[in-house]
Amino acid sequence: MNNKMIVDERQRDIGRFMVGRLLPFRKKRAVGPFVFIDHMGPVELKDNKFLDVDQHPHTGLCTLTYLYEGEIEHRDSTGAVEVVKAGDAGFMSSGKGVTHTERTPKDRRSLKSQIMHGYQIWVGLPKDKEEMEPRFDYYPKESLPSWEEDGIEYRLVAGEGFGRKSPLMGYSPMFMVDLKVNKDSELNLREHLKGEIAFVIVKGSMEDNGEIVSAGQMMISKSHDACKLKVSAGTSLLLFGGEPFPEERFLLWNFASSSKERLQQAKEEWIAKMFPKVPGDETYIPIPV
């Protein structure tokens, strides 16, 4: 693959969890419309320790929750309540402003031990959708296109690719594909995906022109070239990307926008506690100083 870069996960402390941050980084702020990706786990939850992310805000982006193991209960200020399980996709469009919480579901808090493993992803909104009304959409894994070909299992989580469309289309041309490789294979993406492409190695490894990319790394194609890669048996990959926006996207804490002034406005509104609340929840995560 020509014109590529390889990124190592960078450890970040988000409170009770350490996560591996893959995007953004200094040399690449976005891949297609995707502006942020954190790798969460795998981590064992035990000794009465749970996932409890208190009420926090978003603007100008969509959150995409995708799990390999475990469950997360999502609640937000639109009134949405949903338990996202492994293989499902939770997609919250924040638009002009939303708050939400992410917690271990009540019926799993009695378990002595459980594994949490997945990805938290942000997808930027097109400029004309940045102030849309917030909403939450849930896609159980049974609703996502899945198929097997030449020893590789595919699940089209979002967008369009491989001649198929996910019910989770988002708001601009994009794709996210979960791959499980059951035998040593050659992955040919020619004419199957359009736009910038990132390959996240969940486990296992792949080879590109003699260079090995392993679990905990991400490889990005900065061009729209067709890709042909060797992938080892037992490897899990997450592919994402699409067409980049014509304008740069800026991030400030949990806010995204094509306007830096809008980010400052969102910050001031959160400090002034002007955002809508999750029904029945009075928790509040202050913006980092």
Q: For 106-120, how does the pLDDT look when each residue is reduced to its tens digit (9 = 90+)?
A: 999 999 999 999 999
Q: What's the one-letter identity of residue 76?
A: D
What pTM was estimated for this model as a whole?
A: 0.94
Residue 49 lies in a domain: yes
User: Using 50, 70 and 90 to split pLDDT, how confident is the model at 11?
Assistant: confident
Cβ atoms within 10 A of the Cβ of 119, count?
A: 24
For residue 239, with 0-12 CB atoms within 10 Å meaning exposed, 13-18 middle and 19 or more buried, which class applies?
buried
Q: Of the ranges 42-51, 149-158, 175-184, which one carries the lowest mean pLDDT score?
A: 42-51
Residue 253 lies in a domain: no
Residue 80 is assigned to a structural domain of this protein: yes
pLDDT, mean over the chain: 93
Give exposure, 56-80, as e/b (b: 16+ Cβ within 10 Å).
bbbbbbbbbbbbbebbbbbbbbbeb
Residue 200 lies in a domain: yes
Residue 113, domain member (yes or no): yes
Task: Answer whether residue 1 shows pLDDT above 50.
Answer: no
What is the pLDDT at residue 18?
64
| pLDDT higher than threshold 80 for residue 85 | yes
Domain that holds residue 182: 4-242
Q: Per residue in 67-79, pLDDT tens?
A: 999 999 999 999 9
In a domain, 54, yes or no: yes
Task: Determine what percent of the chain is predicted with pLDDT higher than 90.
Answer: 83
Residue at 265 is within a domain: no
CATH number of the CATH domain containing 154: 2.60.120.10
- Residue 162's contacts (CB-CB under 8 Å, 6 or more residues apart) are 154, 156, 177, 192, 193
In a domain, 274, yes or no: no
Q: How many structural domains is the chain composed of?
A: 1
Torsion of the alpha carbons at 284, 282, 54 and 109, rounded to the nearest 10: 160
Residues 34-48: pLDDT tens digits? 999 999 989 999 988
pLDDT of 3 reads 64
**Reported confidence tier of residue 208, pLDDT bands at 50, 70, 90:** confident
